[in-house]
């Protein structure tokens, strides 16, 4: 016989009289919030925010990283809520993996914008980089560690070929010496496509390179000389503009520097390489080239000139190389997440369209059938 509860005691699972029955159709607060975050209306708002952010960055030419970071963080939250509230992902593993990869991509893009660094530097052959850049931009969460690196431009070779009647750059081979933050040191050959990975930063050579006269400067009354390099405009793209203005350390009067190349560096009928010309003259002018009272000197290596603030000696001509330094630690993770997204989506469609028999049990004999 079934157990009958004593009078006055309700059966298990049956609420007592007057007690409200639970409404299972009403989700709790957490579920309602998740469904709100997973809504397509929020997705549309995030897409509009992303488009606005792109337009802001494009037309203002600024790196307002939050304009893109916030929409991508929102996409990650939106996709996560979708995965948690939609039961189809618990039944189809391929779709679950694909959406998890999309969440990772959205988060990684946001992190990349918040932590990136991009800068430009120029180093004369023999010069060591110690953390100072010509131009630099970075995300608000980037922890700058360039001052802990040492990179020396030892020498470089750039080969040129004649193609379709024009001088074209072939390849760049730059030998550098480096010291990592942990004390490791070594030498590497880098180029426009072969970077040096140092302390999480990537160093590439660029198409920006040229010549740099090296001067020794003795200020009036000083006991020691100072060595300086004047970077001339990029060569050979600005072949006829090899000039620059420079103010020696401690001086109040700028000087105008002009390089006159007196020989052919590139040959029209055979491959060539960028080299320091043996025959050249450095022209030094005071007060820049304007008026008839300008003072002008033509200097060969070793020549000196007396200026109002001191003595300037031209030592030699070297080459300088422009580098691009970048920090993007999310790149390998982005690649992994992207490959995973492609593979999981391929897995999903393969299972969806794979050939299956209409009746898998049609070929099996039934029990009791003779």
| pLDDT digit string, tens, across residues 252-269 | 889 999 999 999 888 877
Q: What is the dihedral of CA 74, 76, 79, 85, to 10 degrees?
A: -90
Least confident of 57-66, 91-100, 140-149, 169-178: 57-66
Mean pLDDT, residues 157-181 taken together: 88
Residues 50-68 have a mean pLDDT of: 82
Give the pLDDT mean for 339-359.
Answer: 81
Q: Locate the DSSP E strands across the chain.
A: 117-124, 128-129, 135-138, 150-163, 166-179, 185-190, 196-198, 201-219, 226-229, 243-246, 255-261, 272-273, 280-286, 296-299, 304-307, 310-327
pLDDT of residue 22: 44
Q: What is the structure's pLDDT at 163?
A: 79
pLDDT tens-digit profile of 76-113?
999 999 989 888 887 888 889 999 999 999 999 999 98
| pTM: predicted TM-score of the whole model, two decimal places | 0.77
Q: Does the pLDDT value for residue 35 go beyond 80? A: yes
Place of tokens 């590439």: 204
- 370: pLDDT confidence band, cut at 50, 70 and 90? very low
Tell me, what's the pLDDT at 315?
96
CA 168, 169, 173 angle in degrees (round to 5)? 165
Taking all residues of the chain, what is their mean pLDDT, rounded to a whole number? 85
Residues 6+ apart with CB under 8 A from 170: 158, 159, 160, 161, 271
- pLDDT at position 355: 55
Q: How many CB atoms lie within 10 A of CB 356?
A: 7
Residue 211 confidence (pLDDT) above 50:
yes
Q: Look at residue 356 in the predicted model and tell me its pLDDT.
A: 64
pLDDT in tens, 258-313: 999 999 888 877 788 999 999 999 999 986 555 555 688 999 999 999 998 999 99
Looking at residue 68, its pLDDT comes to: 87
Query: Which has more confidence, 133 or 354?
Result: 133
What is the pLDDT averaged over residues 341-368? 71
Of the pLDDT bands very low, low, confident and very high (cuts 50, 70, 90), residue 367 is: very low
Q: How far apart are CA 257 and CA 274, in angstroms?
A: 21
State the DSSP code for 98.
H
Q: How far is CA 5 from the centre of its chain?
A: 74
Write out pLDDT tens, residues 116-127.
999 999 999 999
User: pLDDT grade, residue 185 (50/70/90)?
Assistant: very high
pLDDT, mean of residues 203-214: 95
Residue 359 pLDDT level (bands cut at 50, 70, 90)? low
Least confident range of 102-106, 141-145, 172-176, 357-361: 357-361
189 or 368, which is more confident: 189
């Amino acid at each position: 016989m079934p157990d009958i509860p004593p009078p006055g005691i309700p059966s298990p699972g049956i609420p007592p009289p007057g007690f409200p029955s639970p409404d299972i159709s009403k989700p709790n607060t957490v579920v309602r919030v998740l469904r709100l975050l997973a809504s397509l209306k929020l997705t549309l708002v995030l897409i509009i925010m992303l488009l606005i952010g792109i337009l802001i960055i494009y037309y203002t030419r600024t790196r307002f990283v939050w304009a893109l970071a916030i929409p991508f963080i929102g996409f990650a939250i939106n996709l996560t809520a979708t995965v948690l509230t939609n039961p189809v992902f618990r039944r189809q593993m391929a779709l679950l993996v694909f959406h998890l990869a999309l969440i990772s991509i959205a988060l990684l893009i946001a992190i990349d914008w918040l932590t990136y660094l991009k800068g430009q530097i120029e180093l004369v052959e023999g010069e060591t980089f110690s953390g100072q850049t010509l131009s630099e931009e970075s995300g608000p969460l980037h922890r700058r560690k360039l001052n802990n690196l040492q990179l020396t431009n030892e020498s470089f070779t750039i080969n040129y070929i004649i193609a379709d009647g024009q001088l074209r750059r072939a390849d760049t081979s730059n030998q550098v010496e480096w010291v990592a933050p942990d004390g490791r040191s070594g030498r590497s050959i880098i180029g426009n496509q072969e970077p040096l990975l140092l302390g999480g930063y990537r160093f590439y050579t660029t198409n920006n390179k040229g010549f740099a006269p090296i001067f020794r400067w003795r200020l009036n009354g000083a006991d020691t000389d100072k060595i300086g390099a004047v970077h001339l405009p990029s060569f050979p793209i600005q072949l006829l503009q090899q000039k620059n203005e420079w103010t020696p350390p401690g001086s109040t009067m700028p000087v105008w520097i002009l390089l006159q190349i007196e020989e052919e560096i590139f040959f029209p009928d055979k491959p060539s390489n960028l080299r320091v010309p043996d025959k050249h003259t450095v022209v030094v002018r005071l007060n820049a080239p304007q008026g008839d009272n300008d003072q002008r000197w033509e200097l060969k290596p070793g020549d000196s000139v007396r200026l109002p603030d001191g003595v300037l000696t031209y030592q030699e001509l070297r080459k300088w190389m422009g580098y691009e330094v970048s920090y993007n630690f999310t790149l390998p993770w982005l690649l992994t997440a992207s490959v995973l997204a492609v593979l999981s989506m391929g897995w999903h469609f393969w299972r969806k369209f794979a050939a299956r028999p209409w009746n898998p049990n049609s070929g099996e004999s039934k029990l009791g059938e003779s």
